[in-house]
Amino acid sequence: MKSAQEELIARTRKLAEEVAGVAAEACTLMEVCGTHAHQYARYGLGELLPERVTLLSGPGCPVCVTTAGEIDATLELARIPEVTIATFGDMVRVPGSESSLAHERARDADVRVIVSPIDAVEMAECGEREVVLLGVGFETTMPSVAVALREARDRDVGNFTVFCAHKRLLPALDALMAAPDVQLDGLLAPGHVSTIIGWAAYREFVARHHVPCVVGGFEPDEILRGVLALVRQLAEGRAEVENAYPGTVSEDGNPRALALIDEVFEPCDASWRGLGMIPEGGMRLREEYAQFDALKRFGVEVGEGAEHPACQCAEVLRGAIRPVECRAFSNACTPANPLGPCMVSSEGACAAAFRYGERPGGMSESGGKQ
Amino acid sequence: MCVAPPFRIVELDGNTAVVELGGSRSTARVDAIEDPQVGDYVRVHAGLAITKLDPDKAREDLVLFRELGML
Ligand code: SF4
């Protein structure tokens, strides 16, 4: 009997062959999901696909699209003596203009890694220090931060605040289509975000840009099923929203999660690394939750910030270059000494490319041909 | 945390659940899912269950995660 893994590899190979059979013309597709980027590198999907089908990684890693100015603001917060920073692990080593949370921690800042935002509320409740939660992430993460904020309000936790740097995915896709250095023929929409917002949310985007958009799952075969749906649409001259991840992603998403987001946050213009200022590209706290705004409480402002001059994360995030095309990749910039966020986050395209390297023949990670 | 494996709800107390994966337990909030029940498989993101999963698919995925050494 074949193992589940062998079956997965067989399914994935077969799908790659189907893609080759359907894709008549050269096309450039983009995935916008950190998990896709990771899986793509891990399984060498680029090598499995025919050369005329290019699959790029886009701005799908929330930590990576956080701007240098926002990182600097978190560092400024971390330097306030009474503040404890509560953050998801990926943020700790991301370099700002001159430092990182890891550096600040070495200089006595109190930086705690949390798995769940609720933990930050409890941390505040159990102590005297001012706990600042870093609210970083797309629609997938917003509901859990919203739950934490609601809990803090209900339990009257006065020493808890959030630095709200959340980003909204859909406005960024519009910005991506407008970027002069990228030309996309199809979009593989992110599974986790789509779980929340639903696949119908992409309808207007597709109508505006006439570009096929398919929601894909995370396993390599699920990703290729999404790619197959995209090339099929292109071959047939269609541009529609399609859900290649049924069972998990529904038409209208998760209404409870959406209600949680809406209760606590409201859209605002926000700057994205690689894409610049995007109208309604981010979230801020609603007036009812203004007392929990860390920037207001501590009088910190988000400035311009400076990216490392050698780092090309901006281009990587737009899909204008691949990680290996960055001059610093794997020499000046490695996971041990990252120059930009894309090399830090486990969802970053540079980190994935470094970790799994080139995969001639594809699928070598999971025991396929080397 | 890259590819989220399926967690199974083993205890429920209001909006807080004990979830289990590969023998280890943790807590997760279930505010965002409809009618959570002990035994449900859920996808958990940042400590919050964001969707229920089809139990057959969840069990298949668990086999794969185990084989890939991810559990
Ligand atoms: S390899 Fe490093 S320096 Fe180059 S874009 Fe990626 S993170 Fe930035």
pLDDT tens-place string over residues B10-69: 999 999 999 999 888 999 999 999 999 999 999 999 999 999 988 888 888 888 778 777
Residue A68 CA to ligand 1 center (angstroms) comes to 14
Give the CATH number, domain containing residue B43.
2.30.30.140
Q: How far apart are the C-alpha atoms of A305 and A352, rounded to whole Å?
A: 25
**pLDDT of res. B5:** 81
* CB of A227 closer than 6 angstroms to any ligand 1 atom: no
Does some domain include residue B17? yes
A312: Cβ below 6 Å to ligand 1?
Answer: yes
- Residue in A34, A147, A247 nearest the CB of B29: A147
Domain for residue B23, yes or no?
Answer: yes
pLDDT, residue B70, reads 67
Instruction: Report chain B residues whose CB lies below 8 A from the CB of A347.
Output: 2
pLDDT in tens, A68-86: 999 999 999 999 999 999 9
Per-residue pLDDT at A296:
97
Instruction: Please name the residues in contact with A313: beta carbons below 8 A apart, sequence gap of 6 or more.
Output: A64, A273, A274, A307, A340, A341, A342, A350
Give the ligand 1 atom nearest the CA of A330. Answer: 1
**pLDDT at site B40:** 95
A63 lines ligand 1 (CB under 6 A): no
DSSP H or E stretch at residue B11: strand B7-13
Domain of residue B46 covers 6-67
Straight-line distance from the first to the last Cα atom of chain A, in angstroms, rounded to the nearest whole number = 23
pLDDT of residue A366: 40
Answer whether B51 sits within 8 Å of A116, measured CB to CB.
no
What is the Cα–Cα distance from A315 to A132, expressed in whole angstroms?
Answer: 31
Predicted local distance difference test score (pLDDT) of residue B1? 33
Among A54, A38, A13, A37, smallest CA distance to A369 is for: A13
Best residue among A56, A94, A307, A313 to mutate for probing ligand 1, ranked by most atoms within 8 Å of CB: A313
> A350 C-alpha to center of ligand 1: Å?
6
Q: Which residue's CA is the closest to the ligand 1 atom numbered 7?
A: A340
Residue B1 in any domain: the answer is no
Task: Say if domain A63-168+253-298 classifies as CATH 3.40.50.11740.
Answer: yes
Alpha carbons within 13 A on the beta-carbon side of B66? 11
pLDDT of residue B61: 81
Residues of chain A predicted below pLDDT 50 = 359-370
Instruction: Phi first, then psi: give them for residue A133, nearest 5 degrees.
Output: -90, 130
Strand ranges across the sheet with A130-135 = A110-113, A83-87, A130-135, A160-164
Q: What is the spatial distance between Cα A162 and Cα A181, in angstroms, rounded to a whole number?
A: 35
Tally the domains of chain B: 1
Domains of chain A, residue spans: 63-168+253-298
Q: Is B34's CB within 8 Å of A256's CB?
A: yes
A15: left (phi over 0), alpha (psi -120 to 50) or beta: alpha
Q: Do B50 and A118 touch (CB under 8 A)?
A: no
* Confidence at residue A362, expressed as pLDDT on a 0 to 100 scale: 47
Measured between CA atoms, how close is B40 to chain A, in angstroms? 14
Q: How far is the CA of A157 from the centre of ligand 1 (A)?
A: 40
